[in-house]
Amino acid sequence: MKATVIAKDQTFTGRDFLTLLDYTPAEITKLLESALEIKKNKSAYADTLKGQSLGMIFENASTRTRVSFEVGMTQLGGHALFLSPRDMQIGRGEPVIDTANVLSRYVDAIMIRTNSHELVEELAEYASVPVINALTDNYHPCQAMADLLTIVEHKGALKGLKLAYIGDGNNVAHSLLAAGAKVGMDVSIATPAGYEVNESIFDKAQKAAEETGATLIQTTDPIEAVKDADIIYTDVWASMGYEQEQEERLKQFSQFQVNEELVKSAKSDFIFLHCLPAHRGEEVTAEVIDGHHSAVYDQAENRLHAQKAILLALLSK
């Protein structure tokens, strides 16, 4: 993939980043090209966002998201401000419209990690600065961009590849469907009955896939999903907010572990991805996640580079 810098591209400047379904295949490709360029030439971008600030609202705990966004803004010459709802008036019932309008007077962009996707959409509606979705119950688009970047680096392309996701039909699965649909990558989702992806989101991704030729499949058979896969992906069985269901999910997902037997159905040169944190011995065995097929640390690192490309695209003036 040839690197092309997208600074000052008016098709991006000032936009929100809520889901990949809002972006065209060409725009996603440009963001990935920019991420590759930024990763190769870190010093060339040291002052690109000088004087600009990112407000980071965290309703949920975070390691990779907080560190990567904060470091990313710093490396681009800007400043990131950590905002906890416990320390903000929004945590005490201030209307979203007020928070959005006030923060827009202070910062150049707002990043939010929360549960309700509707809250993020409301924040974006009233904010006059870009709003970046760093995770909601429905989508995790920044993670998906890092996933695509990792696949490009390991496979050299996206279109025509097959990604198999095994586990819960959660926000990560939704964003992988959206990502695959937009770039022409086949995505097979295997979940236990009752834990499928959101039907409306699947339909939206399917509509996008019709334009790129991607095939999207949902099944309850992990072997079927993994057959001839180029990429195998999984996530924790009980995402944040579902910890009380942990014991029940251990039972329901017991046949959906990514282990050495399951991966035999994939291509011999498959790569393994996991958004982390991982529970070895549950959704994946140590032999797989720590084996030579695993690219999870490259994937984690690429959160930094993909998000720097997003920040640069939305904030360049």
262, 222 in Cβ contact below 8 A?
Answer: yes
- What pLDDT is recorded for position 85? 75
What is the structure's pLDDT at 189? 98
pLDDT, averaged across the chain: 94
Q: What is the pLDDT of residues 205-253, one digit of tens each?
A: 999 999 999 999 999 999 999 999 999 999 999 876 667 788 999 999 9
pLDDT band at 1; cut points 50, 70, 90: very low
Q: Which CATH number fits domain 143-299: 1.10.20.10, 3.30.420.130, 3.40.50.1370, 3.40.50.2000?
A: 3.40.50.1370
One CATH from 3.50.50.60, 2.30.110.10, 3.40.50.1370, 3.40.120.10 for 20-139+303-315: 3.40.50.1370
d(CA 28, CA 267): 26
Has residue 135 got a pLDDT over 80? Answer: yes
Annotated catalytic residue within 137, 147, 186, 235:
235
- Domains of the chain, by residue range, sit at 20-139+303-315, 143-299
Q: What pLDDT shows up at residue 2? A: 35
Q: What is the pLDDT of residue 94?
A: 86
Task: Give the mean pLDDT of 145-158.
Answer: 98
What is the band of 9 on the pLDDT scale with cuts at 50, 70, 90? low
Selecting among 15, 186, 275, 293, the annotated active-site residue is: 275
Q: What is the pTM of this model?
A: 0.95
Please say if 275 is a catalytic residue: yes
Q: pLDDT-derived band of residue 4, with 50, 70 and 90 as boundaries?
A: very low
- Does position 7 have pLDDT exceeding 50, yes or no? no
| Catalytic residue from among 64, 75, 108, 113 | 113
Among the options 52, 64, 75, 143, which is catalytic? 143
158-191 pLDDT tens trace: 999 999 999 999 999 999 999 999 999 999 999 9
Contacts 24+ apart (CB under 8 A), 261-264: 262/166, 262/222, 262/223, 262/226, 262/232, 263/226, 263/232, 263/288, 263/293
CB atoms within 10 A of CB 233: 25
Is the peptide bond preceding residue 277 cis, with omega within 30 degrees of 0? yes
Identity of the amino acid at 159: K
Residue 140 bears catalytic tag: yes
59-88 pLDDT per residue, tens? 988 999 999 999 999 999 999 999 987 777
Catalytic residue among 16, 303, 305, 307: 303
- Encode pLDDT of 257-283 as tens digits: 999 999 999 999 999 999 999 999 999
In terms of pLDDT, which residue wins out, 11 or 53? 53
Residue 317 has pLDDT above 80, yes or no: no
Confidence of residue 10 (pLDDT cuts 50, 70, 90): low
Instruction: Tell me if residue 143 is catalytic.
Output: yes
Q: Is the pLDDT confidence value at 315 over 50?
A: yes
Taking the CA atoms of 119, 82, 169 and 309 in sequence, report the sign of the dihedral they define: positive
303 catalytic, yes or no? Answer: yes
Catalytic-role residue among 140, 174, 274, 293: 140
Asked, colleague to colleague, whether 20-139+303-315 and 143-299 share their fold, the answer is: yes
Catalytic residue list contains 117: no
